[in-house]
Homo-oligomer: A and B are copies of this chain.
Amino acid sequence: MSRPPLRPLNEMTLTFPALSENERFARLAVSGFLSVLDPNISELSDIKTAVSEAVTNAIVHGYRDTAGEVMMQVRIFKDSRISIKIQDKGCGIPDVEQAMTPLYTTSPEEDRAGLGFTIMETFMEKIKVKSKPGKGTTVILERTVQGKKRL
């Protein structure tokens, strides 16, 4: 798969405080912004699920002990390629590889299943995770939207 070209056709950046009620709003904003690509139900559901995982992680883990802002940036490139960046300035992840292991979670007592990263990897084509303890975490999710018309 080739890298997306540098200039997006359209983009939006959203910031909101790390409140769990904003998880739903983040999904809504993503599907609203991508509606111009006319995604089919299955890919829209995949994208919303992946975004929900990343935003929830920022709220639940990133800002576990603190308040803070979550940033989400959605970009649309040529040929319906999309890139979604979710960023927090929270506690960060000491070992990203370990964190991405299926079923690994640091919050089992809160009914976290340890499957957030697994879902992001499965439902998107590409995932990049940058994190630094004490500085925060950035997750970049990428994929192509086929859309209804082109199926």
Contact = CB atoms under 8 A, between A and B. Distances in A.
Given A32-B28, A32-B32, A11 B21 contact: no
B19 A10 contact: yes
A151 to B, nearest CB: 23
A15 B15 CA distance: 9
Nearest to A32: B28
A59 to B, nearest CB: 13
Given A29-B29, A32-B29, A33-B25, A15 B13 contact: yes
Contacts of A19: 10
- Copies assembled: 2
Interface residues of A, number: 17
26 contacts: A10-B16, A10-B17, A10-B19, A10-B21, A10-B22, A11-B16, A11-B17, A12-B14, A12-B15, A12-B16, A12-B22, A12-B25, A13-B14, A13-B15, A13-B16, A14-B14, A14-B29, A21-B36, A25-B32, A25-B33, A28-B28, A28-B29, A28-B32, A29-B29, A29-B32, A32-B32
Interface string A103-147: 000000000000000000000000000000000000000000000
Interface of A: 10-17, 19, 21-22, 25, 28-29, 32-33, 36
Contacts of A12: 14-16, 22, 25
